[in-house]
Amino acid sequence: ARAMLATATARGAHARPRCARHESGCARRRRRRVVVVNANANANDDDARGGGRRETLVALASSLAVCASFVRAREGGGATARAGVSIEDDSAVRRAIRDALTANVIKTKCPAVLRLVFHDAGTYLESAGDGGMNASVTYELNRPESFGLKRGLSVVKSAYEALQGTAAEGKVSFADMIACAGAYAVEFTGGPTFLERVPLGRADASTADPENRMPEQTLGGREMREHFARSGVSTRDMVALAGAHTIGGKGFGDAYTFDNAYYATLVADPWNKPNMTKDEAEMAEHIGLPSDKYMREDEENMKWITKYASDQDAFYADFVDAYLRLTSLGARFVF
């Protein structure tokens, strides 16, 4: 991954400020440096004339740290995506985020919140070097694939507004809050806890990301792998992230329980059995998306599907790593 350093400008570094104090915080962050996290690692120093030698070296070292984590992740080391030097890792900020989410997220909205995350982060395209988790989804609600996203967006907006007057005000972008809300939704529905591991410091977009970046629901298993590969997402990460379909109205199993039921259903393949048992008949009622059923038709995908169906802990661990990588790819982390 290229990790490009550039001076953040006032234009486009953040979406509309929510309040005066937030505006001043945004202005301070625009004057700082950024790291753009891409899928392949490579660091380029920016013009040193913009700051002192020490500042430049610190920024470069930070970007290299980000790159190293993504290189290890691409090589299968399971490294967690982290912003090298994002905003200060202040426990008071983390507490404020958790408190805001606890007060505003209800279990029945968790599937919508998690879907919002994937639609915001899913616009990243490795070859173009743009898109990713940047809150651009707020400008993309009229697109066909965005139908229903307002349900999740309204929840995140309420939680974000609750940060006003707390230690997190002016230090957390809306893109950060979307990423954090998704992590909280997973935890709230019984999945792994990793909210405090979500890196902070993303810059908010001021315009929509390019269109036609989201995968079609009718893609076959191999086509899905190829689509996500263009976004720098491995097969393992793609299959692990697909496990989020275990919750929601078209989910697999309990609509509000984050577990490995998705994979158990895919392994059982109840839709193609003429004489089903009672359990298989119940599984067959899981609607899902066409792409879910097609995913099992690919041998490489099935390797991970089978693993997660028999090992929920492995699914949880890989989902967390994949989530943290996905929500960092393409993001501009502001210093």
CB atoms within 10 A of CB 106: 9
Answer yes or no: is pLDDT of 102 > 90. yes
Taking the C-alpha atoms of residue 219 and residue 238, their distance in angstroms, rounded to an integer, is 13
CB burial readout 173-196, b (16+ within 10 A) else e: bbbbbbbbbbbbbbbbbebbebbe
Structural contact between residues 156 and 180, judged by C-beta atoms closer than 8 angstroms: no
E strands of the chain, at which residues?
2-7, 33-37, 42-44, 332-334
Domains of the chain, by residue range, sit at 2-74, 91-212, 221-320
User: Is 119 assigned a catalytic role?
Assistant: yes
**pLDDT at position 217, please?**
78
The residues pairing with 43 across neighbouring beta strands, listed in sequence order, are 3
Q: Which of 228, 241, 265, 210 is nearest to 315 (CA)?
A: 241
Query: Domain 221-320 adopts which CATH fold?
Result: Peroxidase; domain 2 (1.10.420)
Q: What are the φ and ψ backbone dihedral angles of 33, each rounded to 5 degrees?
A: -95, 165
What mean pLDDT is predicted for residues 212-216? 88
**pLDDT at position 269, please?**
82
- Kindly name the residue from 22, 119, 227, 245 that is annotated as catalytic: 119
Taking the C-alpha atoms of residue 247 and residue 96, their distance in angstroms, rounded to an integer, is 26
Q: Residue 74 — very low, low, confident or very high, per pLDDT cuts 50/70/90?
A: very low
Answer yes or no: is pLDDT of 42 > 80. no
Select the more confidently predicted residue: 48 or 305.
305
CB atoms within 10 A of CB 275: 5
Select the more confidently predicted residue: 335 or 241.
241
**CA distances (Å), 304 to each of 286, 308, 316, in order?**
20, 6, 13
Among 24-28, 89-93, 121-125, the least confident range: 24-28
**pLDDT at position 90, please?**
82
Select the more confidently predicted residue: 27 or 231.
231
Select the more confidently predicted residue: 243 or 35.
243
Structural contact between residues 133 and 178, judged by C-beta atoms closer than 8 angstroms: yes
The residues pairing with 6 across neighbouring beta strands, listed in sequence order, are 34
**CA distances (Å), 155 to each of 44, 46, 108, 137, in order?**
38, 38, 11, 14
Q: Are strands 42-44 and 2-7 parallel, antiparallel or unpaired?
A: parallel
Q: Which CATH architecture has domain 91-212?
A: Orthogonal Bundle (1.10)
Helices (H) and strands (E) in the chain, counts: 13, 4
Answer yes or no: is pLDDT of 249 > 70. no
Taking the C-alpha atoms of residue 160 and residue 164, their distance in angstroms, rounded to an integer, is 8
Answer yes or no: is pLDDT of 34 > 80. no
What mean pLDDT is predicted for residues 235-260? 87
Q: Above pLDDT 70, what percent of the chain?
A: 67
Q: Above pLDDT 90, what percent of the chain?
A: 55
Select the more confidently predicted residue: 246 or 237.
237
Q: What are the φ and ψ backbone dihedral angles of 30, each rounded to 5 degrees?
A: -65, -30
Average pLDDT over the chain, rounded to an integer: 78
Select the more confidently predicted residue: 278 or 64.
278
Structural contact between residues 35 and 1, judged by C-beta atoms closer than 8 angstroms: no
Q: Residue 218 — very low, low, confident or very high, per pLDDT cuts 50/70/90?
A: confident
CA 211 to chain centre: 18
Residue 316, judged by CB atoms within 10 A of its CB (0-12, 13-18, 19+), counts as buried
**pLDDT at position 12, please?**
40
**pLDDT at position 168, please?**
94
Taking the C-alpha atoms of residue 219 and residue 226, their distance in angstroms, rounded to an integer, is 10
